[in-house]
Amino acid sequence: MSQLSSLAESTPHRMPLRSMALRTRLLLAYGVIVCMSIALGIYLFHRINLVRDQTTMLSGNVATDVRHSVQALATVADAQRAVDQYLLQPDDASHRAALMRLEALDQTIRRLQGKAHNPALRDHMARLSRQILTYHEVFDQISANIAQQQVLNRELDTAFFAQYQAIETALANARPRTQYEYRSLDDLKRAGSRLQLAFVWMSRLKEKENELATQNALAALEDARARLKSYVVLNGSTGVVRMSDMERLGEVIDTVEQSSLRVRQLATLYKETAGLVEQRLKPQGILISAEASALTDTALLALNITTIELDQDATRTQVTGGGWLVGIIIAGVILGLVLAATITRPLNDLVAATGRLARGDEISALEPRGGRELILLAQSFNQMAEALHRERAEVQHQHELLTERARELEITLEQLHVEAAAREHLDATVRQMSVPIIPLSRGVIVVPLVGEIDAARAETLQHRLLQGVVAERALVAILDITGVPMVDAQVSAWLLQAMGAVRLLGAHCILVGINPEVAQMLVASGVNLDSVTTRATLQEGL
């Protein structure tokens, strides 16, 4: 402790250069790092401005061309989707939408062709414009065929419903009388069935099996026409079918032949349309998509070239900036080592001494070194260590006093436990004596109660009363409540509970000692005493 005191009171008489103030050292190190960082920032700012100007100059036209090529590709895709939608669902709305998309595609390509900066892009757009024109012409041919198909389909549907309705009307109005006339109507029924079959096959003309559907539809129409003609020739004068219906059936025979011609025309149109789609429209669409993709590829290639040039400039900037950064790091490492030699070591010594002091080990005085602040910190630590040693000695003395006091308290606590056990035993004895069991004669016991009855005493009463009945083999138990000052509803309930328990053991219980005040309390409490034998005095109870 004397060594700590002498070092705490001593002050250095001379200040070497390496023991300058920590603030001066840190400011000097930060100043060097900040100056080098500012120089690096100025250089990078200058290079970034140069790269940005070059980027603006090189990427302006390229970005515009890329945007235009992407717009052209998107317009081509929209137009082809609209055409495909029309081929799947050939109605007026989808036809108008497809025409609008094709017109918009042609106008977009022409407009972008005039705005393109790259000659290769202009050539691609010129070829794309010619291919779109061819695609549009093929689409117009297909649209015309589809329009004719729709007209023929409507005519065939109208003719079919008229033919089928005429046959059904003739069957509904027919009046056959003989079995032969009934059988003759089967030709009409079969003719209607064949018309239905022809209608089903006509709905399959647009599918891949066009030839088979055409042949089956024509065969069904020819069979229906033959059956109708046979019936009209053989049964025209029988009178089974009305004359007006027979005339309509004759017209149906002619219209069936016309339907056959329309079916052939419709099959030819479906086949021609499918050929246009498969052989001209789809290949032309593939060419357009390929040309649009080539347009995008050309624009992206120009963008990649520009990107490579910019990447080279960025790489040169990174190399130069990296050199500056390495220099800053090296300078920082050197300054860190210098600061570690003059700051970190004294602080580590102080931390180690603090740990030993916290564990209660004996420590030697720290040698003040490393700068004014660290010297003052070491002196303060030495003073604190000395004060802490004094406090620890005082704490040890107080701890010994507290230990002695604790032993005295433990002895006192043991005495109190012994006294509490004795008091509990005395209380149990008093509770036993507060409910005495007095045997009067063979089979008769008296239980005199004196004082107030609470829950604990009521439990003791019931327990003692039942034990007395069993021990004395009593047939009659007399409860004398002359000494009970107050009998309320709760006390009455406890008494009745005890008397009920006695009855369960086979004994009879008599309640005696009821004075006028107790009687009024029992009546006011509302307790049912009909099953209880009561007497005013103990003598009457006996």
CB atoms within 10 A of CB 202: 26
Residues 527 and 480 in one domain: yes
Residues 398 and 350 in one domain: no
> Residue range 216-228: average pLDDT?
81
Strand duo 508-512 + 476-483: pairing: parallel
Residues 5 and 54 in one domain: no
Residues 11 and 32 in one domain: no
CATH number at residue 503: 3.30.750.24
Residues 54 and 8 in one domain: no
Between 131 and 389, the more confident residue is: 131
Q: Is 457 domain-assigned?
A: yes
Q: At residue 14, does pLDDT exceed 50?
A: no
Strand duo 444-450 + 438-441: pairing: antiparallel
Q: Is 323 domain-assigned?
A: yes
Domain end marker among 322, 339, 359: 359
pLDDT for the residue 476: 92
DSSP-assigned states of every residue in 377-432: HHHHHHHHHHHHHHHHHHHHHHHHHHHHHHHHHHHHHHHHHHHHHHHHHHHHHHHH
Tokens 């930060």, residue located? 30
Residues 485 and 425 in one domain: no
Q: Is 509 domain-assigned?
A: yes
Report helix angle 119-173 to 92-115, nearest 10.
Answer: 170
Chain centre distance of CA 401: 64
Residues 536 and 440 in one domain: yes
Q: Buried b / exposed e across 129-149, counting CB within 10 Å, b at 16+? A: bebbeebbebbeebbebbebb
Q: Is 219 domain-assigned?
A: no
Q: Which pLDDT tens digit goes with each residue over 136-162?
A: 888 888 888 888 878 888 888 888 888
Q: At residue 7, does pLDDT exceed 50?
A: no
Share of the chain above pLDDT 70, in %: 75
pLDDT for the residue 428: 60
Domain total of the chain: 3
pTM: 0.43
Give the best-scoring range by mean pLDDT among 62-76, 303-317, 375-389, 508-522: 508-522
Burial class (CB in 10 A: 0-12, 13-18, 19+), 303: middle
Q: Which segment of 51-60, 284-293, 297-306, 347-356 scores lowest on mean pLDDT?
A: 51-60
Structural domain harbouring 521: 436-541
Dihedral of alpha carbons 189, 190, 196, 198, sign: negative
Residues 430 and 456 in one domain: no
Q: Is 156 domain-assigned?
A: no
Q: Is 221 domain-assigned?
A: no
Residues 444 and 534 in one domain: yes
pLDDT for the residue 9: 46
Q: What is the mean pLDDT of the chain?
A: 76
Tokens of 129: 């414009």
pLDDT for the residue 218: 82
Q: At residue 5, does pLDDT exceed 50?
A: no
Residues 474 and 447 in one domain: yes
Q: Which pLDDT tens digit goes with each residue over 95-133?
A: 888 888 888 877 887 777 776 766 777 777 778 788 888
pLDDT for the residue 55: 67
pLDDT for the residue 4: 45
